[in-house]
Amino acid sequence: MRILAALLSIILAAASVGSVGAADDTTPAKELFGRVKAPAALPAAAIGSYARGCLAGGKQLSIDGPAWQAMRLSRNRNWGHPRLISLVERLAKEAQKYDRWPGLLVGDISQPRGGPMLTGHASHQIGLDVDIWFTPMPDRRLTEKEREELSAISMLGPDKLSVDPNIWTESHVRLVKRAASYPEVDRIFVHPAIKKALCEGADKVGSDRSWLRKVRPYWGHYYHFHIRLSCPPGNASCKNQPAPPPGDGCGKELSDWLALIASPPKPKGPPPKPKPPMTLAQLPAECRAVLTADAPPTVEAEAPIKPPAPVPATRSKPAQ
């Protein structure tokens, strides 16, 4: 209730000042949120749904941690709900300690105030989504240039129906299992071929297969896996997705996905017209307050640590 009251007071203040006018109701929301460089100085709240919402009180993931490095820094998308940032840090440390994973390369999370993005994702709008590269962290700090240009590695084999056994390892299975084991994780998106590899490799990393229910096959997601958290307690304006279907998802559902990959349906008729971009008026009302709120006085985007003598990035497989 205190969060809602704070947001409501700012909505009323914004309306009286007119800092976001009627013209912005027709401006693509991605332009409004994409140009904001700092978070809103509000209590942390995920507002709306994963693909139609915004983020109040966003927290920045440090670009360098003991077991992670943030990538693509120029995008300024290493902001999330504090609950998600804590989970990324925990996953990085525990995977390194218990699963022999060298460390995480962390891709996009959200913009400082969430919302639609200028490029890329439809989701990642409320600070509860994060992309984790399947490529392990090298044993050194990447330069700023490398973080922009280093390519992630596809896990797929030539047929796109299986993973490449020369790249995919048991450590990948352990990493995804650990991520899925956290109760706050709602689901994890991976390519259908990777879901197949996880189904086949699950018994090698323990007898429990319940975590596989959270791992959902979807298009793309072969360079990284996409973690999505459920709505944090107390975030009344946050909308959860329906729970995944019962079971481990390794049966008919997966077979149907693989068949679709093997024989994609032929397009019927002309391609559909692209949807018009989402506007601020189409987002939850609280997002207007988030957009107009002041930034915390001391928040600045963190600059990367530049090592004195960079060397080419390594692409070695993680330990088995």
**HEC letters along 44-111:** CEEEEECCEEEEECCEECCCEECCEEECCHHHCCEEECHHHHHHHHHHHHHHHHHCCCCCEEECCCEC
Residues 6+ apart with CB under 8 A from 271: none
Residue 96 has φ and ψ, to the nearest 5°, of: -70, -40
Strand partners, 78: 110
Query: Which of residues 85 and 312 earns the better pLDDT score?
Result: 85
Question: pTM score, two decimals?
Answer: 0.86
> Is 40 among the domain residues?
no
> Is 15 among the domain residues?
no
- In whole angstroms, how far apart are CA 140 and each of 162, 183, 218, 305, 307? 31, 32, 32, 11, 9
> What CATH number did the domain enclosing 152 receive?
3.30.1380.10
> Is 266 among the domain residues?
no
The residue to which tokens 């329906």 are assigned: 242
pLDDT tens digit string along 237-264?
999 999 999 999 999 999 999 999 999 8
Query: Which is it for the CA torsion 304, 77, 160, 270, positive or negative?
Result: negative
**Which residues form the domain of 73?**
46-261
> Is 22 among the domain residues?
no
pLDDT tens digit string along 52-95?
999 999 999 999 999 999 999 999 999 999 999 999 999 999 99
> Is 280 among the domain residues?
no
Tally of domains within the chain:
1
> Is 116 among the domain residues?
yes
End-to-end CA distance of the chain: 49
